[in-house]
Structure 1
Amino acid sequence: MKIGTITSLVNALVLALCLKGLHYFNLIKWHPIGFYKKWGWFEESSKLFHWTFFIFLLFIIGLFVYMTMRYVYVIPAVFSSLLLGLFVTILLEWIALDLPLQLSSFKKLSIPFIVVVVCLLRFLLETANFHQREHTAQKVN
Protein backbone atom coordinates (compact mmCIF):
# COMPACT_ATOMS: atom_id res chain seq x y z
CA MET A 1 0.00 0.00 0.00
CA LYS A 2 2.91 2.35 0.74
CA ILE A 3 4.36 1.91 -2.75
CA GLY A 4 0.94 2.49 -4.33
CA THR A 5 0.49 5.69 -2.35
CA ILE A 6 3.92 7.04 -3.32
CA THR A 7 3.46 6.05 -6.96
CA SER A 8 0.03 7.68 -7.13
CA LEU A 9 1.32 10.85 -5.47
CA VAL A 10 4.23 11.16 -7.92
CA ASN A 11 1.86 10.44 -10.80
CA ALA A 12 -0.57 13.16 -9.63
CA LEU A 13 2.18 15.77 -9.17
CA VAL A 14 3.78 15.08 -12.55
CA LEU A 15 0.41 15.07 -14.31
CA ALA A 16 -0.57 18.40 -12.72
CA LEU A 17 2.78 19.94 -13.74
CA CYS A 18 2.44 18.59 -17.27
CA LEU A 19 -1.10 19.91 -17.57
CA LYS A 20 0.03 23.34 -16.38
CA GLY A 21 2.86 23.26 -18.93
CA LEU A 22 0.57 22.14 -21.74
CA HIS A 23 -1.82 24.97 -20.91
CA TYR A 24 0.99 27.51 -20.60
CA PHE A 25 2.36 26.66 -24.05
CA ASN A 26 -1.17 26.54 -25.55
CA LEU A 27 -0.98 22.84 -26.40
CA ILE A 28 -4.40 22.30 -24.84
CA LYS A 29 -7.26 24.69 -25.44
CA TRP A 30 -8.82 24.33 -21.98
CA HIS A 31 -7.63 25.18 -18.48
CA PRO A 32 -6.86 22.19 -16.22
CA ILE A 33 -8.71 23.70 -13.27
CA GLY A 34 -11.39 25.40 -15.34
CA PHE A 35 -14.03 22.98 -14.11
CA TYR A 36 -14.21 24.88 -10.81
CA LYS A 37 -15.59 27.94 -12.59
CA LYS A 38 -17.76 25.86 -14.94
CA TRP A 39 -19.43 23.94 -12.13
CA GLY A 40 -19.36 26.74 -9.54
CA TRP A 41 -17.07 24.99 -7.04
CA PHE A 42 -14.87 26.92 -4.60
CA GLU A 43 -15.36 30.23 -6.37
CA GLU A 44 -13.93 32.30 -3.51
CA SER A 45 -10.89 30.07 -3.02
CA SER A 46 -7.35 30.83 -4.12
CA LYS A 47 -5.54 29.27 -7.08
CA LEU A 48 -3.28 27.41 -4.64
CA PHE A 49 -6.29 25.69 -3.11
CA HIS A 50 -7.66 24.90 -6.58
CA TRP A 51 -4.41 23.24 -7.65
CA THR A 52 -4.00 21.43 -4.33
CA PHE A 53 -7.49 20.00 -4.51
CA PHE A 54 -6.94 19.09 -8.18
CA ILE A 55 -3.74 17.22 -7.27
CA PHE A 56 -5.64 15.47 -4.47
CA LEU A 57 -8.33 14.36 -6.95
CA LEU A 58 -5.64 13.11 -9.34
CA PHE A 59 -4.03 11.25 -6.43
CA ILE A 60 -7.29 9.52 -5.49
CA ILE A 61 -7.98 8.55 -9.10
CA GLY A 62 -4.40 7.31 -9.52
CA LEU A 63 -4.56 5.25 -6.33
CA PHE A 64 -7.84 3.70 -7.46
CA VAL A 65 -6.36 2.82 -10.87
CA TYR A 66 -3.21 1.44 -9.20
CA MET A 67 -5.16 -0.78 -6.81
CA THR A 68 -7.52 -1.94 -9.54
CA MET A 69 -4.84 -2.75 -12.06
CA ARG A 70 -2.78 -4.74 -9.56
CA TYR A 71 -5.26 -7.54 -9.99
CA VAL A 72 -5.24 -7.41 -13.78
CA TYR A 73 -1.49 -8.02 -14.08
CA VAL A 74 -2.04 -10.73 -16.68
CA ILE A 75 -2.77 -8.04 -19.30
CA PRO A 76 0.45 -6.26 -20.33
CA ALA A 77 0.62 -2.66 -19.15
CA VAL A 78 1.49 -1.49 -22.66
CA PHE A 79 -1.93 -2.43 -24.02
CA SER A 80 -3.99 -1.51 -20.99
CA SER A 81 -2.34 1.91 -20.58
CA LEU A 82 -2.72 2.67 -24.27
CA LEU A 83 -6.39 1.72 -24.41
CA LEU A 84 -7.31 3.28 -21.07
CA GLY A 85 -5.28 6.42 -21.81
CA LEU A 86 -6.83 6.93 -25.23
CA PHE A 87 -10.33 6.41 -23.88
CA VAL A 88 -9.87 8.75 -20.92
CA THR A 89 -8.15 11.55 -22.83
CA ILE A 90 -10.59 11.54 -25.72
CA LEU A 91 -13.49 11.56 -23.27
CA LEU A 92 -11.99 14.40 -21.19
CA GLU A 93 -11.25 16.59 -24.19
CA TRP A 94 -14.65 15.91 -25.67
CA ILE A 95 -16.27 17.08 -22.44
CA ALA A 96 -13.89 20.03 -21.88
CA LEU A 97 -14.18 21.38 -25.41
CA ASP A 98 -17.88 20.51 -25.90
CA LEU A 99 -17.12 18.91 -29.24
CA PRO A 100 -19.91 17.57 -31.46
CA LEU A 101 -20.03 13.87 -32.26
CA GLN A 102 -18.49 14.22 -35.70
CA LEU A 103 -15.42 12.73 -37.32
CA SER A 104 -13.96 16.22 -37.87
CA SER A 105 -13.82 16.71 -34.07
CA PHE A 106 -10.83 14.37 -33.84
CA LYS A 107 -8.67 17.06 -35.45
CA LYS A 108 -9.23 19.30 -32.42
CA LEU A 109 -7.88 16.77 -29.89
CA SER A 110 -4.49 17.52 -28.31
CA ILE A 111 -1.92 14.86 -29.15
CA PRO A 112 0.59 16.08 -26.49
CA PHE A 113 -2.13 15.66 -23.84
CA ILE A 114 -2.85 12.12 -25.03
CA VAL A 115 0.87 11.26 -24.97
CA VAL A 116 1.37 12.64 -21.45
CA VAL A 117 -1.61 10.73 -20.04
CA VAL A 118 -0.66 7.47 -21.78
CA CYS A 119 2.96 7.72 -20.55
CA LEU A 120 1.91 8.42 -16.97
CA LEU A 121 -0.64 5.61 -17.05
CA ARG A 122 2.09 3.29 -18.31
CA PHE A 123 4.26 4.32 -15.34
CA LEU A 124 1.40 3.66 -12.94
CA LEU A 125 0.36 0.33 -14.46
CA GLU A 126 3.89 -1.03 -14.90
CA THR A 127 4.61 -0.29 -11.25
CA ALA A 128 1.38 -1.99 -10.19
CA ASN A 129 2.10 -5.05 -12.36
CA PHE A 130 5.67 -5.32 -11.11
CA HIS A 131 4.73 -5.17 -7.44
CA GLN A 132 1.85 -7.61 -7.87
CA ARG A 133 4.17 -10.13 -9.58
CA GLU A 134 6.75 -9.62 -6.84
CA HIS A 135 4.09 -10.17 -4.19
CA THR A 136 2.87 -13.32 -5.96
CA ALA A 137 6.44 -14.65 -6.24
CA GLN A 138 7.02 -14.09 -2.52
CA LYS A 139 3.84 -16.03 -1.69
CA VAL A 140 5.09 -19.01 -3.71
CA ASN A 141 8.44 -19.03 -1.90
Structure 2
Amino acid sequence: MKVATITALVNALVLALCLKGLHYFHLIKWHPIGFYKKWNWFEESSKLFQWTFFIFLLFIIGLFLYMTMRYVYIIPAVFSSLLLGLLVTISLEWIALDLPLQLTSFKKLSIPFMVTVICLLRFLLETANFHQKEHTAQKQS
Protein backbone atom coordinates (compact mmCIF):
# COMPACT_ATOMS: atom_id res chain seq x y z
CA MET A 1 0.00 0.00 0.00
CA LYS A 2 2.97 2.29 0.62
CA VAL A 3 4.15 1.99 -3.00
CA ALA A 4 0.61 2.66 -4.26
CA THR A 5 0.29 5.79 -2.14
CA ILE A 6 3.67 7.19 -3.17
CA THR A 7 3.09 6.39 -6.85
CA ALA A 8 -0.38 7.97 -6.84
CA LEU A 9 0.92 11.05 -5.01
CA VAL A 10 3.83 11.56 -7.43
CA ASN A 11 1.45 11.03 -10.35
CA ALA A 12 -1.01 13.61 -8.98
CA LEU A 13 1.69 16.22 -8.30
CA VAL A 14 3.32 15.81 -11.71
CA LEU A 15 -0.03 15.89 -13.50
CA ALA A 16 -1.09 19.06 -11.68
CA LEU A 17 2.25 20.69 -12.47
CA CYS A 18 2.00 19.65 -16.13
CA LEU A 19 -1.56 20.97 -16.39
CA LYS A 20 -0.47 24.29 -14.92
CA GLY A 21 2.39 24.42 -17.43
CA LEU A 22 0.14 23.51 -20.35
CA HIS A 23 -2.27 26.26 -19.33
CA TYR A 24 0.54 28.79 -18.78
CA PHE A 25 1.95 28.20 -22.27
CA HIS A 26 -1.56 28.21 -23.81
CA LEU A 27 -1.37 24.60 -24.97
CA ILE A 28 -4.80 23.95 -23.47
CA LYS A 29 -7.62 26.43 -23.86
CA TRP A 30 -9.21 25.75 -20.48
CA HIS A 31 -8.08 26.26 -16.90
CA PRO A 32 -7.32 23.09 -14.90
CA ILE A 33 -9.25 24.29 -11.86
CA GLY A 34 -11.93 26.09 -13.87
CA PHE A 35 -14.53 23.50 -12.88
CA TYR A 36 -14.76 25.14 -9.45
CA LYS A 37 -16.31 28.23 -11.02
CA LYS A 38 -18.52 26.18 -13.35
CA TRP A 39 -19.96 24.07 -10.53
CA ASN A 40 -19.88 26.85 -7.87
CA TRP A 41 -17.39 25.02 -5.63
CA PHE A 42 -14.93 26.83 -3.37
CA GLU A 43 -15.22 30.09 -5.30
CA GLU A 44 -14.29 32.17 -2.26
CA SER A 45 -11.36 29.91 -1.36
CA SER A 46 -7.75 30.71 -2.07
CA LYS A 47 -5.99 29.36 -5.15
CA LEU A 48 -3.71 27.32 -2.88
CA PHE A 49 -6.70 25.50 -1.40
CA GLN A 50 -8.23 24.97 -4.84
CA TRP A 51 -5.01 23.48 -6.22
CA THR A 52 -4.51 21.37 -3.10
CA PHE A 53 -8.02 19.96 -3.38
CA PHE A 54 -7.46 19.35 -7.12
CA ILE A 55 -4.24 17.44 -6.35
CA PHE A 56 -6.12 15.46 -3.70
CA LEU A 57 -8.78 14.51 -6.30
CA LEU A 58 -6.06 13.47 -8.75
CA PHE A 59 -4.44 11.43 -5.96
CA ILE A 60 -7.69 9.58 -5.19
CA ILE A 61 -8.26 8.85 -8.89
CA GLY A 62 -4.65 7.68 -9.30
CA LEU A 63 -4.86 5.44 -6.23
CA PHE A 64 -8.09 3.91 -7.52
CA LEU A 65 -6.52 3.27 -10.93
CA TYR A 66 -3.42 1.78 -9.33
CA MET A 67 -5.43 -0.60 -7.19
CA THR A 68 -7.72 -1.54 -10.06
CA MET A 69 -4.95 -2.16 -12.56
CA ARG A 70 -3.01 -4.30 -10.10
CA TYR A 71 -5.56 -7.02 -10.57
CA VAL A 72 -5.65 -6.90 -14.35
CA TYR A 73 -1.90 -7.05 -14.82
CA ILE A 74 -2.35 -9.51 -17.66
CA ILE A 75 -3.29 -6.60 -19.94
CA PRO A 76 -0.12 -4.75 -20.99
CA ALA A 77 0.06 -1.22 -19.58
CA VAL A 78 0.92 0.14 -23.03
CA PHE A 79 -2.52 -0.71 -24.41
CA SER A 80 -4.53 0.08 -21.31
CA SER A 81 -2.84 3.45 -20.75
CA LEU A 82 -3.24 4.40 -24.41
CA LEU A 83 -6.93 3.50 -24.56
CA LEU A 84 -7.79 4.88 -21.14
CA GLY A 85 -5.74 8.03 -21.73
CA LEU A 86 -7.37 8.77 -25.08
CA LEU A 87 -10.82 8.13 -23.68
CA VAL A 88 -10.27 10.35 -20.65
CA THR A 89 -8.55 13.22 -22.45
CA ILE A 90 -11.01 13.40 -25.31
CA SER A 91 -13.93 13.29 -22.89
CA LEU A 92 -12.44 15.96 -20.60
CA GLU A 93 -11.63 18.35 -23.42
CA TRP A 94 -14.98 17.80 -25.07
CA ILE A 95 -16.70 18.74 -21.81
CA ALA A 96 -14.30 21.59 -20.90
CA LEU A 97 -14.44 23.23 -24.33
CA ASP A 98 -18.12 22.41 -24.87
CA LEU A 99 -17.44 21.14 -28.38
CA PRO A 100 -20.17 20.03 -30.78
CA LEU A 101 -20.29 16.41 -31.93
CA GLN A 102 -18.66 17.05 -35.29
CA LEU A 103 -15.58 15.68 -36.96
CA THR A 104 -14.02 19.15 -37.13
CA SER A 105 -14.03 19.33 -33.32
CA PHE A 106 -11.09 16.91 -33.20
CA LYS A 107 -8.83 19.68 -34.52
CA LYS A 108 -9.46 21.70 -31.36
CA LEU A 109 -8.26 18.96 -29.01
CA SER A 110 -4.87 19.46 -27.35
CA ILE A 111 -2.30 16.86 -28.37
CA PRO A 112 0.20 17.89 -25.63
CA PHE A 113 -2.55 17.30 -23.04
CA MET A 114 -3.24 13.85 -24.47
CA VAL A 115 0.44 12.92 -24.50
CA THR A 116 0.93 14.13 -20.92
CA VAL A 117 -2.01 12.14 -19.57
CA ILE A 118 -1.08 9.01 -21.53
CA CYS A 119 2.54 9.15 -20.30
CA LEU A 120 1.50 9.61 -16.67
CA LEU A 121 -1.05 6.83 -16.96
CA ARG A 122 1.65 4.60 -18.39
CA PHE A 123 3.86 5.40 -15.39
CA LEU A 124 1.03 4.58 -12.98
CA LEU A 125 -0.10 1.39 -14.71
CA GLU A 126 3.40 0.04 -15.38
CA THR A 127 4.26 0.52 -11.71
CA ALA A 128 1.08 -1.29 -10.68
CA ASN A 129 1.79 -4.16 -13.10
CA PHE A 130 5.39 -4.47 -12.00
CA HIS A 131 4.59 -4.60 -8.30
CA GLN A 132 1.77 -7.07 -8.81
CA LYS A 133 4.02 -9.40 -10.83
CA GLU A 134 6.72 -9.05 -8.18
CA HIS A 135 4.20 -9.83 -5.44
CA THR A 136 2.94 -12.87 -7.36
CA ALA A 137 6.50 -14.13 -7.91
CA GLN A 138 7.31 -13.77 -4.22
CA LYS A 139 4.20 -15.74 -3.28
CA GLN A 140 5.18 -18.59 -5.59
CA SER A 141 8.68 -18.95 -4.19
The reply to whether TM is greater than 0.5 is yes
Paired amino acid for 2:48: L
2:80 maps to: 80
What is the distance in 1 between the residues matched to 2:46 and 2:63? 26
**Percent identity over the alignment?**
88
Paired amino acid for 2:106: F
Gaps of 5+ in 1: none
CA apart distance, 1:22: 0.1
CA apart distance, 1:53: 0.1
Paired amino acid for 2:41: W
TM alignment of 1:42-81, pairs within 5 A: 42-81=42-81
CA apart distance, 1:50: 0.3
Aligned residue pairs: how many? 141
CA apart distance, 1:98: 0.3
Determine helix, strand or coil for the equivalent of 1:72. Answer: coil
1:126 maps to: 126
What is the distance in 2 between the residues matched to 1:34 and 1:128? 30
1:108 maps to: 108
What is the distance in 2 between the residues matched to 1:103 and 1:43? 35
* TM-score calculated relative to the size of structure 1: 1.00
CA apart distance, 1:66: 0.3
Paired amino acid for 2:124: L
2:18 maps to: 18
CA apart distance, 1:94: 0.3
CA apart distance, 1:43: 1.1
Gaps of 5+ in 2: none
